């Protein structure tokens, strides 16, 4: 009975929506970070190469 | 037993966060961040050498995130006093949308990320200045000065004044007199700006137990100090022209803006103790925002136009 109750712990719609919202923001932030570091590396290596 | 289990389940449910990305964005104090971004951008553009545009964007982004991180750390530490002030009660931590632990983690992660990014991709002088700014705002101002002395925002104002120096350092790798003058303008602007706010929000600050100048030295003394700072700020705003960094156009406009600041501060000085509406204080607060934005916008325009004319004449 206890285990069954623990299994019933589910996120509310609001909590699920907030989690999706946070996940999307984290994903976007990570994607931006990857692009920034990738392009910045190209820029800096390019600069060093031309010296 | 069943009651205990149900309560555990309820508590587990209540620990599930309902914070949205917007709540975390609010932790960054976006309005303060916008001023930081703008003044850092002016420092970056005004520098006499150029930087790769992408690195310039990264520098500004890092400075913005670093400033936001210090805002998040401030909201973590100040949640108790934010909760009792009308101006700040709806912030994510006192409103219960974000837990203090989440705010602390968020602030620390962004602090490290912004400083490391600026250091690795731009230069370590600007990264060091950014790290110092975050430390100064989150630790020296928030944890120490704010609850201890009415000079809190005078000394703490240094944190808000550094961004143009960081912007300049990001491009040149140095700290120069030009950027220090920009620092000085914001540093001297901060006390009259915040004391004008503290005058008409003094009850809020008193309830929170923060020793702002009107609550400690009295409103009359605060009005006199606001006027004194205005008298110092007005000529310092013209310094970039007097030192030969800008054209006379900047000198004339900044002098007019400074005279306006003194006039608004004079109206505050004329306020009486029984004036509870405090329209002059509210007017000065609004004008001070316009003043700082205008001074930096004109400085920026002056630099850009002068450079364009120099290239055109060459």
pLDDT, tens only, A1-51: 555 555 666 888 888 999 999 999 999 999 999 999 999 988 887 755 444
**What string of DSSP letters covers B160-228?**
HH-HHHHHHHHHHSS--HHHHHHHHHHHHHHHHHHHHHHHHTHHHHHHHT---HHHHT-HHHHHHHHHH
Q: What is the tens place of the pLDDT at every residue in B123-136?
A: 999 999 999 999 99
**Which one of A8, A14, A37 has the shortest CB-CB distance to B18?**
A14
Size of interface A-B (CB pairs under 8 A): 51
How large is the average pLDDT for residues B143-151? 95
Global pTM value? 0.89
Give the residue among B310, B312, B19, B48 at the shortest CA–CA distance from B168.
B48
Mean pLDDT of chain B: 93
Q: What is the tens place of the pLDDT at every residue in B7-58?
A: 444 444 456 788 999 999 999 999 999 999 999 999 999 999 889 999 999 9
**Which one of B6, B52, B58 has the shortest CB-CB distance to A36?**
B58
**Which one of B1, B18, B58 has the shortest CB-CB distance to A18?**
B18
Contact B18 A5 (CB under 8 A): no
Task: Read off the pLDDT band of B87 (50, 70, 90).
Answer: confident
Q: What is the tens place of the pLDDT at every residue in A6-18?
A: 566 688 888 899 9
Distance CA(B131)–CA(B70), nearest Å, equals: 10
Q: Which of residues 2-41 of A touch B (CB under 8 A)?
A: 2, 5-6, 8-9, 11-12, 14-15, 18-19, 21-22, 24-25, 36-37, 39-40
- Exposed / middle / buried, residue B138 (Cβ in 10 Å: 0-12, 13-18, 19+): buried
């Amino acid at each position: 009975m206890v285990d069954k109750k623990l299994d019933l712990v589910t996120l509310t719609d609001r909590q699920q929506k907030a989690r999706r919202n946070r996940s999307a923001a984290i994903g976007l932030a990570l994607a931006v970070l990857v692009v920034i570091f990738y392009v910045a590396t190209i820029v800096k290596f390019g600069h060093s190469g031309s010296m | 037993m069943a009651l205990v289990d149900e309560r555990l389940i309820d508590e587990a449910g209540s620990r599930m966060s309902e914070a949205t990305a917007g709540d975390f964005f609010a932790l960054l104090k976006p309005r303060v961040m916008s001023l930081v971004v703008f003044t850092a951008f002016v420092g970056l553009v005004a520098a006499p050498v150029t930087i790769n545009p992408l690195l310039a964007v990264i520098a500004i982004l890092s400075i913005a995130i670093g400033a936001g991180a210090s805002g998040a750390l401030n909201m973590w530490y100040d949640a108790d006093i934010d909760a009792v002030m009308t101006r700040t009660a709806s912030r994510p931590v006192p409103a219960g949308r974000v837990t203090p632990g989440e705010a602390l983690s968020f602030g620390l992660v962004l602090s490290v990320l912004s400083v490391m990014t600026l250091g690795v991709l731009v230069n370590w002088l600007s990264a060091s200045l950014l790290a110092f700014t975050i430390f100064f705002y989150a630790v020296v101002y928030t944890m120490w000065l704010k609850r201890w002395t009415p000079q809190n925002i005078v000394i703490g104002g240094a944190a808000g004044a550094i961004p143009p120096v960081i912007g300049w350092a990001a491009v040149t790798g140095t700290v120069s007199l030009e950027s220090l003058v920009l620092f000085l303008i914001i540093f001297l602007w901060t006390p009259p700006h915040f004391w004008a706010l503290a005058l008409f929000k003094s009850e809020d600050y008193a309830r929170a137990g923060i020793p702002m100048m009107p609550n400690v030295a009295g409103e009359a003394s605060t009005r006199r100090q606001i006027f004194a700072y205005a008298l110092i700020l007005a000529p310092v705003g013209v310094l970039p022209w007097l030192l030969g960094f800008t054209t006379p156009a900047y000198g004339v406009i900044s002098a007019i803006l400074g005279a306006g600041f003194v006039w608004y501060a004079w109206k505050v000085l004329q306020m009486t103790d029984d004036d509870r509406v405090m329209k002059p204080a509210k007017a000065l607060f609004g004008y001070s925002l316009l003043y700082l934005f205008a001074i930096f916008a004109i400085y920026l325009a002056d630099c850009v136009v002068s450079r364009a004319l120099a290239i055109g004449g060459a």
